[in-house]
Amino acid sequence: MAIYHFSVKIISRSNDKSVVASAAYRSGEKLTDERQGQTFDYHKSEVAYSEIFLPQNAPLEYADRSKLWNAVEKAEKQCNAVTAREWEVAIPNELNLEESKILISNFAKSLAEEGICIDCNIHWKNGNHHAHILGTTRPLKSDGSWGDKERKVYALDENGNKIPIIDESTGKQKIGARGRKMWKRQSIEVNNWNTKEKLTEWRERWANMVNSALEKARISERVDHRSNANRGLIDKPTIHEGYVARLIESEGGISERCELNRQIKGQNIRLHEILRELAAQQAELDKILQEEWDHDERLRKFLARRADFTRATGANADRIGIIESRERYAKDIAEQSQRIQSIIERRQREADEARREREEAERRKREADEAKRKERERIEAQRRDYSRVREPNRGFSR
């Protein structure tokens, strides 16, 4: 069954992470971080595909993984700088390796077209085909040099005017070193790569590409990037288990993540059972209400006919007309009573049938319990008989 997994995270120096080390691990290569002077060697047999995709204005030398990520490390000056963004995606097991390469490369190219240098790698683990896609966080200028992640602009008030910086000691606007007035500024990101809207767009794009690949492979399975709540589903979603959890289970252990998913699936099954019971009860209630409504509707029509007859005949209606009216009234009442009696009898039959089934089940249970009791008594009697048998004399006769 094709599953949807799409997560985005950042590689940051604040977590003591080197983007060169991250790239070496994901590509299974040996790379040297020139800033730290460390070499990272992660040879992985599971890396089935590795390729770099560059935007049009990127230097061609960035096609070399080592040069790309060392250039990123050199461009960042802060100790807590965000050096890369990673997209981790699950590849449907229904797709073969060649189909997976096409899927991942198409998604990577779409990211590169947004101005991001992309380093993508497929890890082809048994039952856990996935890809790690690293992307740069700084935009590239037209000359191929790294641009700024954000720019400073004047902060404006509700009227669109610049906001002065006030000196608390004087209550007047501060003056800079060159005699210039000082105004409040704010930082604005130069692109939308960090927005929630962009993340939603990436998630939907990946889902559409996966479904397109499944369709081309003539596979009926489909994935959906939306949450259960957004899809109108009441099921509680399961969590991503991952390779380690499945490995623990395959070796006979119990993974906490797999166990949690089993509990969630069990809760979803019970939830649907409850909903089916509620639906059946609601259908029965609707049926009863419909019968009562039909009865009330017939009664309303009868009363309307009687009122029409009363108005038509008036106080001087002859005896024959009154008798006919009473006969029709009696006939309608009899029909109503008969219909109500049939409903009561039907419900009584249903109740009797349910009672008989319940009594039959209880009788079978009593018979089974009695059979078990007799069997236990027989075994106990045999045991007592055996215990009374004397052992033979083991001495020698004289």
| 127, two tokens | 């039952």
Rg, the chain, Cα only: 40
**DSSP 8-state code for residue 184:** -
Contact criterion met (CB below 8 Å) for 12 and 81: yes
Q: Is 221 helix (H, G, I), strand (E, B) or coil?
A: coil
Parallel, antiparallel, or unpaired: how do β-strands 38-41 and 47-53 relate? unpaired
Q: Is 132 helix (H, G, I), strand (E, B) or coil?
A: strand
For residue 180, give Cα distances in angstroms to 183, 200, 221, 266, 343.
9, 44, 65, 69, 94
Query: What would the pLDDT profile of 104-121 be if each residue is shown by its tens digit?
Result: 999 999 999 999 999 999
**Secondary structure tally for the chain: helices H, strands E:** 7, 9
Name the residue ranges covered by the structural domains of the chain. 1-144+196-225, 150-189, 232-317
Contact criterion met (CB below 8 Å) for 344 and 337: no
Distance of CA 253 to the CA centre of its chain: 26
Highest mean predicted confidence (pLDDT) among 251-255, 274-278, 368-372, 384-388: 368-372
| 209, two tokens | 């590409």
Distance of CA 255 to the CA centre of its chain: 20
Give the E-state strand segments of 57-110 in sequence order.
Answer: 82-90
**123 in the Ramachandran plot: left (φ > 0), alpha (ψ -120 to 50) or beta?**
beta
| 345, two tokens | 């009898």
Q: Per-residue pLDDT averaged across 365-388, rounded? A: 79
Q: Is the pLDDT of residue 29 over 80?
A: yes
Q: Per-residue pLDDT averaged across 339-364, rounded? A: 83
Contact criterion met (CB below 8 Å) for 164 and 173: yes
DSSP string, 9-66: EEEEGGGT--HHHHHHHHHT-EEEETTTTEEEE---TTEEEEEEE--TTS-GGGGSHH
Query: What would the pLDDT profile of 127-145 be if each residue is shown by its tens digit?
Result: 789 999 999 999 999 999 9
1-144+196-225: CATH architecture = 2-Layer Sandwich (3.30)
| 117, two tokens | 């240098």
Query: What would the pLDDT profile of 189-248 be if each residue is shown by its tens digit?
Result: 778 898 999 999 999 999 999 999 999 999 998 888 776 666 666 677 776 666 677 677
Q: Is the pLDDT of residue 299 over 80?
A: no
pLDDT of residue 394: 47
Low-confidence winner among 68-77, 85-94, 303-312, 365-374 (lowest mean pLDDT): 303-312
Q: Is the pLDDT of residue 15 over 80?
A: no
Q: How far apart are CA 348 and CA 60, in angstroms?
A: 86
Contact criterion met (CB below 8 Å) for 109 and 133: no
For residue 311, give Cα distances in angstroms to 8, 323, 357.
80, 16, 55
pLDDT of residue 165: 83
Query: What would the pLDDT profile of 269-291 be if each residue is shown by its tens digit?
Result: 777 677 777 777 777 777 877 87
